[in-house]
Amino acid sequence: MQDKIISAQNVEFHYTNEFEEDAPVKQVLKGVSLDIKKGEFTAVLGHNGSGKSTIAKHMNAVLLPCGGKVYVEGIDTADEERIFDIRQRVGMVFQNPDNQIVATIVEEDVAFALENLGVPPDEMRKRVDDALKSVGMYEYREHSPHQLSGGQKQRVAIAGIIAMRPDCIVLDEPTAMLDPKGRSEVLKTIRQLNRDFGVTIVLITHYMDEAAQADRIVVMDNGVILMDDVPREVFANVELMKKIGLDVPQVTELMYLLEESGLPTDTHIIDEEECTEALLKILKATPHN
C-alpha cells in the first residue's frame, strides 16, 4: 500500500458553470485510474484540453472528483480535515513562474509554505537554505524575483515546494514559458530531485525529449488514459501518437520513416546514441553500389 503515493481510482470530473446552472456539462475526466509509485518519475503527455491539468489538480485536493476516489498515501482527498497533510505531501508547480512567487525576496518566497504551516523560525531557516541549495539557487537567496531569469524563477518556485519536504511534486508544464537554457536548467533540477533526493515526480509536458527522460509515460486523450508504459514502448506507437496530435522524439521519427521506406529498423529507439548505432547497422547492411 505505502509504495503508492497517489492512487486515482476511476476518477470522473466535470467543471460546473457558476453562471449558467443548466448549461450542458462536459465530462473532462471520464474514469481515470492511475497509480503513482514512490520514487517514480512519470511524464504525462496529451494535447491541449485532454485533461492533464485537471487530473494534476486532483492529486493535491485542489479539485475533488465528481465520481471515483483519489488517495494520497492512503488519505482520501475528499477528507477536508486532512487537506493540509495532503498538500504538504504532494506539492504543485505551475507553468508561469511569475504567478506563483508571492514574496519580494527569494528566500522569503521559499519560506512562504513553511510560514503558513507554522514551522518554527530556526527549523524554517534550515529548510529554506536546504531547499535553495537543492535547486542551486542559494547564492540568489537575497535577490528580488524580478531580477532573475525565467529558469531561475521556476527553480525558486520549485524550492518553495521542496521546502515543505513533500514526497511528490506535480509539475504542470513547468518549462512551457522558458527559453532552451531555462528549460534544461529546470529539467536538470527535476531529475536531480528525483535521483538524489528520491522525490516522486509527475511532470506534465509537451516536450517529447523531456518525457523521454522519465521512467514512465502516461498519455491522455480526451479525458481518458490512452497509454501508460515506459517511454520506449509509448513512442514506438508513432501512428497512434500522431493521430492524437502528439509528436515522438526526432530519433524515433527518423527510425519510423526509415522503417516505412522498407529498411529494417526498430522504432523502440528514443535516444541519439542508439539511433547512431542503428543507422550504422543499416549502412553496413546495405550493399554499396
Ligand X SMILES: Nc1ncnc2c1ncn2[C@@H]1O[C@H](COP(=O)(O)OP(=O)(O)O)[C@@H](O)[C@H]1O
Report what 262 binds from Mg ion, ligand X, another protein, none; CB cut-off 5-8 Å by kind.
none
- Residue 118 near another protein by CB under 8 A: yes
- The residues pairing with 218 across neighbouring beta strands, listed in sequence order, are 44, 228
Count of positions on this chain that bind another protein (CB under 8 A) = 40
Site for ligand X in 245-264 (CB under 6 A): none
DSSP letter string, 145-191: GGGS-HHHHHHHHHHHHHTT--SEEEEESTTTTS-HHHHHHHHHHHH
β-pairing, 200-204 vs 41-45, is: parallel
* Nearer Cβ to ligand X (51/145): 51
206 lies in the site for ligand X, by CB under 6 A: no
Is 128 a binding residue for another protein by CB under 8 A? The answer is yes
Beta bridge partners of 228: 218
CB of residue 207 to ligand X, shortest distance in Å: 14
Q: Is 23 helix (H, G, I), strand (E, B) or coil?
A: coil
Q: Contacting ligand X (CB under 6 A), which of 5, 11, 40, 53?
A: 53
Verify binding: residue 132, another protein, rule CB under 8 A.
Answer: no
Could you tell me if 131 and 104 are in contact, meaning their C-beta atoms sit under 8 angstroms apart? Answer: no
Choose one: 50-58, 64-72, 94-102, 117-125; the region binding ligand X (CB under 6 A): 50-58
Pairing mode, strands 67-72 and 224-229: unpaired
Residue recorded with cell 550493399:
287
111 interface partner picked from another protein, ligand X, Mg ion, none, CB below 5 to 8 A per type: another protein
The site for ligand X (CB under 6 A) is made up of 15, 28, 46, 48-54
